[in-house]
Amino acid sequence: EMKTSMVRVNWKGVSIVIPLVWYAIALTVSSPQLNQYIVQENVTYIPINHEEYMKITKDIKCKDPNHKLTYVLDRVSNRTHLGCFYEKIVIGRYCPEFNIDKSNRTILQPKYSAPCGNLDITPCDFAYNSSESFKMFGCFIVYGGIPSLMQRGQEVENFTKKELILRKLIESLKKTVEERDEKITNQYVVIGVVVTFLIIILVILAFILFHKYFMHKNRENIASYSCNQFKERKRNEDDPLNGPFENTRAKEERQSNENDPLNGPFENIRTAPRSDIQDNVEIEGENDLEDQPPVSVN
């Protein structure tokens, strides 16, 4: 008769040993944790799927191509950071965090004060890749200060309301600017009309003043000419020879003398005829000289 020996398995001990084995394997197969660093501190938004993760991190490049952009918790406060870390398997249903080891190196490790296996939102798997920590965004909502989905919705709604208010404000400002520009344009038009009207008035006044000045000078010239004519006529009236009542015979004689080359005003004295009276005077003078006695000379 053969007896079958039964081997009892202590499942409680196995449940404790298996995580330790996984943790040892993770430490063994994980890449060396050198030159790891934080890229962005105090992150306020966590992507909820891979598409959002790729969209948010597309412009962020790590120095080492083996680094993965990983969301981690702060080691002290309720904050979330984004850093460049080597890929690591996080086990034990804990959220990931970064820390500084004794060699002053930045490392990635489970945060034992942040269990995530029983979270209502995205509970953690027993083991997951550190670069996929964003899929457990419940960790960062509860322990990392990231707003919840409801809070995000409220923030989006508030942002939408603020955007509408800003749009209305911008439209109001545009309308105010347009009204001001229209008012300024109307003022410029009025100023232009007034200036044009003033210029026209100044031109008319200048023309009137010039016309008055020209007419005044014309009257002065006419008065001066009339006065000279009156004086000339008055002088001719007072002249007995040249006046209108001069003697006709004297006028004819004067004209005859003016036309006579011998008796005119420019006659030749040597060729002028001698009168009978002048001849008699000369003859009488000669006779007187002949009748005088001779003068004796002692």
Using one digit for the tens of pLDDT, what is the confidence trace for 112-153?
999 999 998 889 999 999 999 999 989 999 999 988 776 666
Stated pTM of the model: 0.46
| Residue 191 clears pLDDT 50, i.e. is over it | yes
Copy the structure tokens of residue 126: 């027993």
**Residue 140 is which amino acid?**
F
- pLDDT for res 137: 87
- pLDDT for res 127: 94
- pLDDT for res 4: 36
Return the closest-CA partner of residue 134 out of 197, 215, 201, 72: 72
Burial class (CB in 10 A: 0-12, 13-18, 19+), 110: buried
